[in-house]
Amino acid sequence: MTANAEQVMDTDVVVVGAGASGSAAAYALTEQGLKVINLEKLPQTGGTGQFSEGIFAVESKIQRENNHVFTRDQAFKLVMDYSHWRPNAKLVRNYINKSADTIDWLQDLVVHFDKLTSNYPGGYYTWHIYQGRGRAVIDVLQQHFAEKGGKLLVKTGSSPIMVGDS
Ligand SMILES: Cc1cc2nc3c(=O)[nH]c(=O)nc-3n(C[C@H](O)[C@H](O)[C@H](O)COP(=O)(O)OP(=O)(O)OC[C@H]3O[C@@H](n4cnc5c(N)ncnc54)[C@H](O)[C@@H]3O)c2cc1C
C-alpha cells in the first residue's frame, strides 16, 4: 500500500531510519507495548548495518563458555586510555555494561553467533560474529517488529510504501 500526505496514521513513536540502530530501537519499543512507525528513506532497510559481520561485547555467555576472561572494567579502561579519555565516559560505560545483554537479546530473537574472535591481531576475544552478516540481523529485527504490529514505511523521501500491507 502506498501512503500519502492525506493519510493520517496513529502512533506512539516514530523511529526515523531503519538501519541497525533504528531497527533495534523500533523493535525494542514494540516490545514495551508501544505503537511504532519506522520510516526509511531508501527502498530497503539495513543502512550500513547490513554489511557488518559482528558486534563487540564483554562478559557474554559465549566468552564464558570459551574461557575468555576480559571484564567490563578492563574493557572500559582500555577503551578510555586508548582514546585519551576524550569520549563521554558515561556513554562508553553504559555501552560496555549493556553489551552482553545485547548478545542475549539477539540470541533470544534467534540470531546465531558462530564465531568469537579478536578484531585485531593479539586483541581480546570480544568480537561476536553472527551468521548471515548484518543483513540477517536486520531482517530478524524487522520481522519481530512486524509481528509485534510495528509499521515500516520505506521510500519515505518520495511516495512512501507501507511494507506488509496489501
Ligand atoms: C562495510 C562496513 C562494515 C561494517 N562492519 C561492522 C561490524 O562488523 N561491526 C560493527 O559493530 N560495525 C560495523 N560497521 C559499522 C556499523 O555498520 C554502523 O556503525 C551501523 O550500522 C550504523 O547504524 P545506524 O543505524 O546508526 O546508521 P545507518 O546504517 O547509517 O542507518 C541510518 C538509516 O537511516 C536512513 N535515513 C537517514 N536519513 C533518513 C531520513 N531523513 N528519513 C528516513 N530514513 C533516513 C538511512 O537510509 C539508513 O538506512 C560497518 C560499517 C561498514 C560501512
Per-residue pLDDT of the chain (166 residues; tens, 9 = 90+): 666 666 789 999 999 999 999 999 999 999 999 999 999 999 999 999 999 999 999 999 999 999 998 999 999 999 999 999 999 999 999 999 999 999 999 999 999 998 999 988 999 999 999 999 999 999 999 999 999 999 999 999 877 777 876 5
Name residue, grid cell 526515523: 16
User: What ranges do the domains of the chain cover?
Assistant: 13-162
| CATH number of this structure's domain 13-162, picked from the four choices 3.40.50.300, 3.40.190.80, 3.50.50.60, 3.40.50.150 | 3.50.50.60
pTM (2 d.p.)? 0.93
| DSSP sequence for 54-69 | EEE-SS-HHHHHTT--
Looking from the CA of residue 21, the nearest atom of ligand 1 is 25
Task: Provide the 8-state DSSP code for 52.
Answer: -
Residue 20, ligand 1, Cβ within 6 A? yes
Ligand 1 binding pocket mutation candidate from 27, 40, 50, 52 (most atoms within 8 A of CB)? 52
Rounded distance between C-alpha atoms, residue 35 and residue 150, angstroms: 6
Burial of 28 (0-12, 13-18, 19+ CB in 10 A): middle
